[in-house]
Each structure stands twice: as C-alpha cells, then as structure tokens.
Amino acid sequence: MALLEVSKVVAGYGETEILHEVSIAVNTGEVVTIIGPNGCGKSTLMKAIVGLVRVRSGSVLFRGMDISGHDPEQTVRGGLCYVPQSDNVFPSMTIRENLEMGAFVRRDDYRDRIHEMFQLFPDLKPSAGRRAGSLSGGQRQMLAIARALMLDPVLLLLDEPSAGLAPALVQSVFERIRDINATGVSILLVEQNARESLRMSDRGYVLSGGSNQLEDSGPALLGNPEVGRLYLGG
C-alpha cells in the first residue's frame, strides 16, 4: 500500500476546475517530484492533498485513510506536513518562536526537537533570536522546512523550495532535502528546478493542463528527450 495515494482528484477554485482526475502516489521512503509548466495545477494539487482546497471528486488516501474531507489540522496531526512556496514563516516572530509554533499540536517536551532542527539547519542556530522577517530568502526557506519538521511528519510536501534563491543556496536546499529523506521522511516535491529535483527523485510525474501526462522513475524522466526539450532546457 502506498503511503499517499491520490486517485482521480478533481479540484479547483470557485467555478474553475484546475485538476482533472489527477492521480499520483508516494511510497514509504520515496522522494517524488511533480514537474510541469506554470499554471498546470501543481500547487493546487498540493493544497488539495493537505485540505486547503476542496476535493470535488476522487480521493486522497494517506496511510490507507481517506483524508479528502479533512481540514489541514487533522491532516497535520496524522503526520503529513506542507510547506507552501511563500508566506511560510511568521515574519514578526524569532526563529525559535517559529519553531515553537511548528510544535503547536505536540503535547510533549519539544525542546529536544528544536535542538535537532538546529543540527539539521546549522545556519539557523546563531540567529535563533532574530526575527524571521529579517532573514534572507534561503534562511526563510530553511526555517519553513524546519518548522514543518517540528511535528515529526512521515510525509513532507514541499512547494517550490528553491524558488527565487541564488544558485549556491539552491544546492544547499536540495542537500537538506536529501538529509531529511535519509532520516526516513518521505517527500513530495513540486519544483521548477526540474533537473536537480528529478536527479534525486525515486519517481516523478509530469502534469500539464491539470492532467497527468507522464509518470516514470527520476532517471528515466531525466533521460526522456521530450521531457528534456519541454522542461529541462534542452
């Protein structure tokens, strides 16, 4: 059984249907990347999975349970966390306060988990007392991911984690994603940097026009001439 199984999901905003029977799966321990042109429904799919966009038809199964009608807090409590592309930290709060907010549903002592986050993201520790709004784009992205990890998720959804970052910071973000996956956390990734994301992915999906177009292993999609021409710059 897949850890996450999205089956023929239809979703959108108002009268506009964005996703047309989209199906994907993430198995335990995998990194899975979704690529496709801007506006094809990648972010909408992430929001539908986590409960921020209503699923009109189809199903979202997580750990074998249909979570299609769950609100985001229920989903988070179940072990699935989502990091949006923007507005993903509390800018007026410090780094430490952001991490504490990430533990909002925990009932145990989460101080050890904060220490673990500072080990995983060492650049954050010296600035623990700084307001998140004063951080660089790369630091904010690291903080957003660390905050999601405060709940020890089994599946992490990342929406464009490298967007707008300098090349050196992009590599740092992908290195941290590999480190997180190595701890046993499964990852579903939406990423415009398709070449780098597919390189580290077990499998990938291509969406276009709100529909499934192609599914294959990460290496196979990297080597696919059509994928290369449309999404990898040649």
Residues 113-161 have pLDDT tens digits of 999 999 999 989 998 999 999 998 888 999 999 999 999 999 999 999 9
E runs forming strands in 149-223: 155-159, 186-190, 203-208, 211-217
Q: Is 18 exposed, middle or buried (0-12, 13-18, 19+ CB in 10 A)?
A: buried
Q: Over pLDDT 90: what percentage of the chain?
A: 77
Helix or strand (DSSP H, E) at 73: helix 72-77
Q: Tell me if 77 sits within 8 A of 21, measured CB to CB.
A: no
Query: Which residue is associated with the tokens 């177009």?
Result: 213
Residue 234's pLDDT is 52
Residue 171's pLDDT is 87
Whether 168 shows a pLDDT value over 90: the answer reads no
Residues 181-210 have pLDDT tens digits of 999 999 999 998 899 999 999 999 999 999
List, in order of start, the domains of the chain with CATH numbers: 4-231 (3.40.50.300)
Residues 69-101 have pLDDT tens digits of 899 989 998 999 999 988 899 999 999 999 999
The amino acid at residue 202 is D
In this predicted structure, which of 2-16, 157-171, 186-200 has the lowest mean pLDDT? 157-171
Mean pLDDT score of the chain: 93
Query: What is the DSSP code (8-state) at residue 119?
Result: H
Q: What are phi and psi of 154, to 5 degrees?
A: -95, -20
